[in-house]
């Protein structure tokens, strides 16, 4: 399992205070067009399906968004 309660709580705290853009490009062919809805839905899924391997991709995508937002806030794109 890639994440537990601690990691979920850290994600929630980060996104609670993060300045979320409307859209974000995750990579080639992967654009999130409603970042707030994406974050909300992914947090709900990782909380409800904690420990189920097939749902770990939802956590992985939140990590990617968090890294991109952290890079933007530090002046790196």
CB 2 within 8 A of CB 56: yes
The per-residue DSSP string of 25-67 comes to EEETTEEES-HHHHHHHHHHHHHHTTT-GGGHHHHHHHHHHHH
What is residue 51's predicted lDDT score, i.e. its pLDDT? 80
pLDDT of residue 64: 95
Position 27 scores a pLDDT of 87
Q: Give pLDDT, residue 73.
A: 57
Q: What is the pLDDT of residue 1?
A: 65
């Amino acid at each position: 399992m890639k994440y537990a309660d601690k990691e979920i709580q850290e994600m929630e705290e980060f996104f609670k205070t993060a300045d979320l853009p409307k859209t974000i490009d995750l990579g080639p062919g992967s654009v999130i067009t409603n970042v707030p809805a994406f974050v909300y839905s992914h947090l709900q899924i990782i909380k409800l399906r904690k420990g189920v391997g097939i749902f770990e991709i939802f956590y992985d995508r939140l990590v990617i968004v968090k890294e991109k937002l952290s890079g933007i806030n530090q002046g790196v794109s």
